[in-house]
Structure 1
Amino acid sequence: MTLAQTNTPQTADTILAADRKGRRRLLLQIGGIVAIIVLCLWLTGMLDGGRLADGLPAIGTLFAEMVPPDFTRWRQWVEPMIETLAMSVAGTALAVVLSVPLGFLAARNTTPNKWAYQAARLVLNTLRSIPELIMGIIFVAAVGFGMLPGVLALGLHSIGMVGKFFAEAIEHAHPAPIEAAEASGATSLQVISHGVMPQVFPQFADVTMYRWEYNFRASTVMGMVGAGGIGTELVGSLRLLDYPQVSAVLIVILATVTIVDALSNMLRKRFQ
């Protein structure tokens, strides 16, 4: 019997044992995740069938009161909707402008040193951890009512997420163009502009468009804390318990979100 024939059964047994061990480990991990999900559902009351059943009639009554929608005040919603759109565009622009340098500082392959990397990551984590609604309340208290606090809240909160995605796109850039630019004696700025940006620009455009969609939806909430926009009209109708107008405002928001989504998809295709 040759050495290869002697080792073949042992090798096969080893492979099968490792495969079984891997399967058991995977099943244990899936079981642990399922257990955590079930625990969270129980803690939040999602498994309380009686409570959910008691709430269904109230939800049905609320929806019944919202029909038919009342569009009699639609002319008064045009300006707030334009404000909402303007806030989303301005907030996204602010986020992108500030996220580009932070993204390069937070990427391992373009940051000047580890201290700049850690500082940039800390800034992104901090901004991402504060909800835009809380930022809106803070900025309303600081600069007063209107669209400005909404733009600042949307923009600064967006930096945390947009900058993170920008940094990840930069880190996944192919090293060959970067090394070629460095070998030719290019400066750091030239390496970024010629070796990195051509690769990551499509990803930057995608992230920007997705964030604009998100910011438009989030800007409707900004009006609830006094930051202007269509959210102010929505809160006013809710406080008056004018549910037909609430449903009308929600329909207008849904239609505008659909238009923004279609425009965003069109722009993404342009930048691909």
Structure 2
Amino acid sequence: MTHTTTEPAALSPAPSASVLDEHARGWRSKLWQAGLVLAVVFFASWYVDLLDFRTLANGVPAIATLLRESLPPDFTNVMDWMSPLLDTLAMSIAGTAIAVSASVPLAFLAARNTTPHPAVFYLTRTLLNGLRSVPELIMGIIFVAAVGFGALPGVLALGLHSIGMVGKFFAEAIEHVDEAPVEAADASGATRLQVLWHAVLPQVLPQFADVSIYRWEYNFRASTVMGMVGAGGIGFELMGSLRIMQYQEVSAILIVILLMVTMVDSLSGHLRKTFK
């Protein structure tokens, strides 16, 4: 009589020690990185005296005095601010339009997957970095000296500085497109321009619209600063009130700017929903 023996069911192997060690090393690496970031933040805060609480406390009475002198807000000249507000709004729209118009072709040259040559890629990226590295306030001063006072130097400064930022974001959106439509267009015999137009551009248009609207929001806030260097807009009125220490009028202008920024933010949110 033969007996059949049944092999015991194989047990699932325990986790390998090497896997656990690798997991532990990963956590230790993350902790070291977090500690390094915190150390850099702490050093930067100490370096700029952000941790000097005695100095901060000594400044509180001066701030309280300034706030008392700013109340109540003086809206006597509010109607005189409507035209500068319109200038500020127009500056932000025109500057954003310049940036978007110039950034679209530059973005295709600055994206690794659409640039015609590596030399063109590095040259365009350098151009975008250069435009982005010069603050719009400095550009505003330069253009005021070049073309005179008014809204035009503000538009030029906002437009050129925005090209550096908008072009970078556009290029990064192009680099992250799905390659399947691009390969399908190439396989069908489409020209390079046709591939960009039919396979790449439709994928990035929503991101382009989103970035453009966000940049318009930023440019509206930045255009208020442009007025402080003589580039027109509501910032010019704000600077004039500060110079003669009319703090009640200053607080009124700041409230008006806050209301306009809130309106622009609401409108841009509606536009983003529309383009989704």
The question of 1:270 aligning with 2:274 is answered yes
The question of 1:72 aligning with 2:76 is answered yes
* More helix, by proportion: 1
Matches of 2:74 and 2:62, distance apart in 1: 21
Would you identify which runs of 4 or more consecutive aligned residues in structure 1 move more than 6 Å?
A: none
Match of 2:92 in 1: 88
Matches of 2:33 and 2:20, distance apart in 1: 20
Matches of 1:20 and 1:183, distance apart in 2: 47
- Correspondences of 1:96-245 after superposition (within 5 Å): 96-245=100-249
Matches of 2:40 and 2:114, distance apart in 1: 39
Matches of 2:39 and 2:268, distance apart in 1: 39
- The Cα RMSD (Å) is 1.3
Q: Secondary structure at the match of 1:112?
A: coil
The question of 1:48 aligning with 2:55 is answered no
Deviations 1:73-111 (A, max 9, x none): 011100000000000000000000000000000111111
Matches of 2:247 and 2:167, distance apart in 1: 40
Match of 1:61 in 2: 65
Matches of 1:268 and 1:163, distance apart in 2: 19
Matches of 2:30 and 2:185, distance apart in 1: 44
Uncovered stretches (5+) of structure 2, i.e. residues with no partner: 1-9
Match of 2:7 in 1: none
Shift of 1:18: 1.2
Matches of 1:129 and 1:263, distance apart in 2: 29
Percent identical: 63
**Which region of structure 1 is more displaced relative to structure 2, 216-225 or 28-37?**
28-37
Higher CA-based Rg: 2
Matches of 1:258 and 1:84, distance apart in 2: 14
Matches of 2:20 and 2:180, distance apart in 1: 40
TM-score (norm 2): 0.94
